[in-house]
Amino acid sequence: MEPTRDYPLFGGTFSATLPPGAIDVSDLRPVPDNQEVFCHRMTDQSLIVELLELQAHVQGEEAARYHFEDVGGVQEARVVHVEAVQPLLLENLALRGCCQEAWILSGKQQVAKENQQVAKYVTLHQALLRLPQYQTDLLLTFNQPPPENRSSPGPENLSLPPWSLGDFEQLVTSLTLHDPNIFGPQ
């Protein structure tokens, strides 16, 4: 299965390359207007693209940590642990023309799914693309929950492997802005 290239996001104002088997969650349930959410067809993995207000009070690596901790607060994480933060090279981004700085963060959060008591550690990879001219922080998140204790995967699961960090990097680097009017008058 090939990745979906130039998939329209936010009504076509952005596009990106999605990994194979990505399902648009807005086809299943309501999603906030500032988010695009995709889930893997066979695993509990998800990808989220969010348009957020620029957090000008934090700079550099601290901005990436701020957003990671904010997501942990929203999800009522019991534990939030940053494992690594590093800058992303702007020249690798399709958004290099309007992105002032970019960071990638990896960490773990201990969260319970809706209606469940048991909290599990979820690995999160986040890319923060800062667009100060649009007063926007673009946050891309790759959620990798632990694999469920399933019996050996059947042939239908083998045809669609779990997403990799490479799939997430392709989403991040391919994200393209087509219409800056999404940010309102500048």
Tens of pLDDT along 10-65?
Answer: 999 999 999 999 999 999 999 999 999 999 999 989 999 999 999 999 999 999 99
> Are residues 61 and 82 in contact, defined by beta-carbon separation less than 8 angstroms?
no
> Are residues 54 and 45 in contact, defined by beta-carbon separation less than 8 angstroms?
no
Give the whole-angstrom CA distance, residue 73 versus residue 179.
32
* Angle, vertex CA 62, rays to CA 102 and CA 78, nearest 5: 110
Tens of pLDDT along 88-108?
Answer: 999 999 999 999 999 999 999
Work out the mean pLDDT of the chain and round it to a whole number. Answer: 90
Q: Phi, psi (5° rounding) for residue 22?
A: -75, 130
Read out DSSP for the chain?
---EEEEEEGGGTEEEEEPTTEEEGGGTS---TTEEEEEESSSS-EEEEEEEE--TTS-THHHHHHHHHHHHHHTT-SEEEEEEEEEPPGGG-TTTTT-SEEEEEEEEEEEEPTT---EEEEEEEEEEEEEGGGTEEEEEEEEEPPPP-PSSPPHHHHTSPPP-HHHHHHHHHH-EES-GGGG---
- Lowest-pLDDT range, 62-71, 124-133, 139-148? 139-148
**End-to-end Cα, the chain, rounded Å:** 40
Closest to 130 (Cα-Cα) out of 105, 91, 100: 100
Report pTM.
0.91
